[in-house]
Amino acid sequence: MVLGGEHIATEGRERIRWVPQSQAPDGEWIFLGTRRGHRYAAVVVDRVPQDLEPVSLRVLGPDIGADDASLAVHAVGIARWHSTHRFCSACGAPTRSVEAGHQRYCDNCGTPHFPRTNPAVIMLITDGQDRALLGRQAAWPQGRYSTLAGFVEPGESLADAVRREVREEAGIGVDEVYYADSQPWPFPASLMLGFFGRTSDTQLRADGDEIADAQWFTRDQISELTAADEIQLPSRVSISRALIETWHGGEITGHW
């Protein structure tokens, strides 16, 4: 796997190109692990070779298998961490990559630096009529809706973070909170922790800052509006889409 900036070099959207180490371009190596007897690594390069096509992981994700997607997420996350941690936060001196790309070390003061992941909650809230709460960020185009989400603050439990984010963004309280699933999300370096929640408070008040609009949707409305392309749901590569489809009861026609 070859990484250039925030893109993965492929032979087209159909597959990631895996090549022997001897054929890999020059760059900084990141070991990704061993699977079924094969060792996998990524190379971070300044420029993608001409025979490969740079493709965003957001675009590539739905078109590759789970194993390749997992390796790609790993590679992009580590590569982004390297690009933003080239200097020691303790003394300001340059750091160097060690431990097969999974640590940076400062020779000046001896401080080791490790990749970090920022926890974020993402939640599908339903009301007494089993309608789903979806919101549209102010920066998104009209018609794009997704579940609410936000970063966990210091000292918060995950359930508290769910309740705070929903209160801040949609103006309602949340009663019950249930863990659903998780997903690494290297944009830039997050672990998305998915939840379902229930509320009896249905008077939505979008904050107008992060969330421009928040609405309750029934299953029939989601089916009809996405089929008519009147609303757009998150990409199938995201945990947000998985939460929505779990609530809906199956795959939904329409895409981001």
Closest CA to 111 of 103, 123, 120: 103
Q: DSSP letters of 185-229?
A: ETTTTEEEEEEEEE-S-------SSSEEEEEEE-HHHHHHHHHTT
How many other C-beta atoms lie within 10 A of the C-beta of residue 207?
A: 15
How many other C-beta atoms lie within 10 A of the C-beta of residue 9?
A: 22
How confident is residue 4, by pLDDT bands cut at 50, 70 and 90? Answer: very low
pLDDT at residue 44, as a whole number: 84
How confident is residue 13, by pLDDT bands cut at 50, 70 and 90? Answer: very low
pLDDT at residue 10, as a whole number: 46
Q: Is the pLDDT of residue 255 over 90?
A: no
Confidence (pTM)? 0.78
CA–CA distance, 244 with 74 (Å, rounded to integer)? 25
| Torsions phi, psi for 242 (to 5 deg) | -65, -40
Is residue 207 a contact partner of residue 168, using CB atoms and an 8 Å limit?
Answer: yes
Q: Which residue has the tokens 């309280």?
A: 173
Q: Which residue has the higher pLDDT, 135 or 13?
A: 135
**pLDDT tens by residue, 187-197:** 778 999 999 99
**Distance set, CA 191 to CA 117, 161, 225 (Å):** 6, 14, 30
**pLDDT tens by residue, 207-237:** 988 899 999 999 999 999 999 999 999 988 8
Is residue 149 a contact partner of residue 116, using CB atoms and an 8 Å limit?
Answer: no
What are the domain boundaries of the chain?
2-84, 118-248
Q: Is the pLDDT of residue 251 over 50?
A: yes
CATH number (3.40.50.300, 3.20.20.70, 3.90.79.10, 3.30.1490.100) of 118-248 reads 3.90.79.10
Closest CA to 3 of 23, 14, 21, 17: 17
